[in-house]
């Protein structure tokens, strides 16, 4: 398979921290995503935005990683929103009902 290496770039912007995700979100993304969230925790924002605009593949294990991150953020009292989702990934967030727990921002990341 034409797999693309997962990346997570953490940027502090006014009022929130943005996590720009790229590549394939699957089991191999686990450590990178966890490390990125640790950096978010260190920055201590009230809100974190997950930017999926450069994610090209998500499997069920990848969605489970998002759920784990979401659970940790909720535990920490941090709001989470998703930006840059294609229609296909918005569908996946709807069927897994993740959209019940995070704000889905239409369009590209600001």
Partner 1 sequence: MTITDKIPPPAPAAHTTRDGAHWAKPVDRLSAQVVGAGVDSVTGKRVANPLQGFGQMWQKTFRVPLEGSTMSPQEVIVIWKERFATFWPKAGRFYAPLAGIVPGEVALLDISPMPGSPVTLSTGVMVIYADDESFTFISPQGHMFSGWITFSAYRDGDMTVAQVQALERTSDPFDELGLMFGGRRMMETFWRETLGNVARAMGTMEPAVVSEAVCVDKRRQWRQATNVRNSATLRSMRHMLTAPARWITGRS
The per-type count for the chain, helices as H runs and strands as E runs, is 3, 5
Closest distance to partner 1 from the beta carbon of 64 (Å) = 5
Which one of 11, 35, 94, 103 is in contact with partner 1 (CB under 8 A)?
94
Q: In which element (H, E) is residue 84 found?
A: none
Which of 10-18, 37-45, 52-60 is the region at the interface with partner 1 (rule: CB under 8 A)?
52-60
Tell me how far, at minimum, the Cβ of 5 lies from partner 1, in Å.
Answer: 13
Token couple for 9: 């770039």
In this chain, which of 10, 41, 98, 109 binds partner 1, going by CB under 8 A? 98
Q: Does 59 contact partner 1 by CB under 8 A?
A: yes
Give Cβ neighbours of residue 41 (< 8 Å, ≥ 6 apart). Answer: 76
Q: Which two tokens stand for residue 54?
A: 């450069």
């Amino acid at each position: 398979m034409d797999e693309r290496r997962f990346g997570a770039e953490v940027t502090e912007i006014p009022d929130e921290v943005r996590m720009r995700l790229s590549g394939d979100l699957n089991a191999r993304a686990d450590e990178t995503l966890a490390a990125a969230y640790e950096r978010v925790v260190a920055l201590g924002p009230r809100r974190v935005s997950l930017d999926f605009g450069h994610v090209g593949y998500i499997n069920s294990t990848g969605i489970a990683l998002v759920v784990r991150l979401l659970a940790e953020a909720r535990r920490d009292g941090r709001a989470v929103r998703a930006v840059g989702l294609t229609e296909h990934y918005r569908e996946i967030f709807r069927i897994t009902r993740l959209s019940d727990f995070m704000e889905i921002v239409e369009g590209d990341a600001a």
